[in-house]
A = this chain, B = another copy of it.
């Protein structure tokens, strides 16, 4: 459980260039501190939920409102609170923010920088970031919820590699172990199949993930299988495209974060996702239930 200290902790940025009383334009989420009252809009935020798709994040917000009995402002309902951009959508229900992050490390990285600045300027305390995604599994039944302990890059190393001003910078990609354990326990209590996973995070869906069905493929089926086996032996149980940035950036900033992702296929058996939408929605519902149980345990929804 989060300590009282954690609950009072503000998001601290790691940037000595920024003045506390600055004006700030959060370009990609279309918010401007001169035009929007960040404290009034976001000061009470406790949980930021994120996932790739905009429709899915809207449905998640709607489902949380229903599931948790969150009261929305009279006459307003659930609205996209960042209508000035179409790069992301964001819904807020009580202390819960639901926002989509698009696909890939760069897209979630832009969002994380701007969300951290937003939460800092809003003075929000005790904020937890949780990603709810879909992924490929390794040796798992489709529909298994993977809760990441840490994330590996395409070289199977547990750090995000960047080139900042042309120089290599490596940042450790680990998730909060207490939060991961708590989510696993909640899943267990709900009889939802969930596992602790090392997560492989790539910058490409086809070649870097060892798929043989992309427009380009220069390796053999044997090399593909050997790579997936090597990843499995390194502890990898699921593969997706955002967890590395989520882990590295939140760890660097001291923000408590988790990554849940439900497997849509077993990559040992196939490359193409061929589930129908209703089954995917059913699988995603498992993450919703874990998330709702987590939020309930925090007593933050009045």
> Could you list which residues of chain A lie within 8 angstroms of chain B, going by C-beta atoms?
13-18, 24-25, 27-28, 52-56, 84, 86-87, 102-107, 109-110, 112-114, 116-117, 120, 153-156, 162-166, 169, 202-208, 210, 212-219, 221, 223-224, 226-227, 230, 241, 249, 252-253, 272-274, 277
Identify A218's interface contact among B56, B105, B164, B272, CB under 8 A.
Answer: B164
The answer to whether A162 touches B207 (Cβ under 8 A) is: yes
**In the complex, chain B residues whose CB is within 8 Å of the CB of A28:** 103, 205
25 contacts between A and B (CB under 8 A): A14-B215, A14-B216, A14-B217, A15-B213, A15-B215, A52-B87, A54-B86, A104-B104, A104-B105, A104-B107, A110-B204, A112-B215, A116-B215, A120-B215, A154-B163, A154-B166, A155-B163, A162-B203, A162-B204, A162-B207, A164-B208, A165-B210, A166-B227, A203-B203, A215-B249
| Cα distance, A99 to B74, chains bound together (Å) | 38
Which of chain B's residues have a CB closer than 8 A to the CB of A18?
213, 217
Determine the chain B residues whose CB is within 8 A of the CB of A106 once the complex forms.
103-107, 202-205, 241
4 additional contacts (CB under 8 A) given A103-B110, A109-B205, A215-B249: A15-B213, A17-B213, A28-B103, A153-B163
Contact between B107 and A216, CB atoms less than 8 A apart: no
**Minimum C-beta distance from A71 to chain B (A):** 28
Number of copies: 2
Say whether, besides A216-B253, A249-B215, A204 and B165 are in contact (CB < 8 Å). Answer: no
Once the chains bind, are A105 and B15 in contact (CB under 8 Å)?
Answer: no
Q: How far is the CA of A117 from the CA of B224 in the complex (A)?
A: 20
Nearest CB on B from A150, distance (A): 17
Complex: chain B residue closest to A88, CB-CB: B103
| Complex Cα–Cα for A274 and B30 (A) | 11
How many Å lie between the Cα of A224 and that of B167 in the bound state?
12
Q: Looking at the complex, which one of B213, B215, B219, B274 makes contact with A165 (CB distance below 8 Å)?
A: B219
Query: Are B273 and A25 touching (Cβ within 8 A)?
Result: yes
Q: How far is the CA of A230 from the CA of B165 in the complex (A)?
A: 10
Given A106-B103, A206-B113, A24-B215 contact (CB < 8 Å): no
Asked if B216 contacts A113 (CB within 8 A), the reply is yes
Chain B contacts for A104, CB-based, 8 A = 102-107, 109-110
Q: Pick the 9 closest A-B CB pairs, nearest first.
A: A104-B106, A154-B163, A116-B215, A165-B227, A15-B217, A17-B212, A55-B86, A113-B215, A103-B107
